[in-house]
């Protein structure tokens, strides 16, 4: 999987995750998702399914993560999307990490969407 970074001070983390999962560039992912604004699970799921990505179930809270998953973190009114793939976090804001980035340490992972068949 190739990392796609979102532009600084943008709300394109969801679109960047779609770009990574579909192996397309960010501008294509924005068109696929249909917005340059904040996104929700339905928008991202619709985009992934339209592109042919095999999505599994959505899980609430912290259970063991599958090999690849789209993660939703929330803290108050702030939220952030990132990917979990092969025991690493692919954070569109900060890069690839082995641990949750410090700026999300007080956030909670609200849910994740299992993604199947991604190498």
CATH architecture of 13-116: Alpha-Beta Complex (3.90)
pTM of the predicted protein model: 0.94
Q: What confidence tens digit (pLDDT) does each residue in 54-97 have?
A: 999 888 876 788 999 999 999 888 899 999 999 999 999 999 99
How does DSSP classify residue 47?
H
What distance in Å separates the CA atoms of residue 87 and residue 98, rounded to the nearest whole number? 7
What letters, b where the CB count within 10 A reaches 16 and e where it falls short, cover 48-80?
A: beeeebebeeebeeeeeebebbbbbbeeeeebb
Backbone angles phi, psi at 51, to 5 degrees: -85, -10
pLDDT for the residue 1: 92
């Amino acid at each position: 999987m190739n990392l796609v970074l979102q532009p600084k001070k943008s709300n394109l983390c969801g679109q960047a995750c779609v770009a990574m999962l579909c192996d397309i560039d960010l501008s294509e992912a924005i068109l696929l998702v249909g917005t340059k604004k904040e996104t929700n699970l339905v928008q991202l799921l619709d985009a992934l399914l339209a592109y042919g990505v095999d999505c599994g179930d959505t899980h609430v809270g912290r259970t063991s993560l599958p090999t690849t998953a789209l993660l939703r973190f929330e803290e108050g009114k702030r939220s952030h999307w990132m990917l979990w793939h092969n025991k690493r976090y692919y954070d569109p804001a900060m890069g690839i990490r082995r641990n949750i980035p410090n700026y999300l340490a007080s956030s909670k992972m609200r849910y994740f969407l299992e993604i199947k068949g991604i190498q």
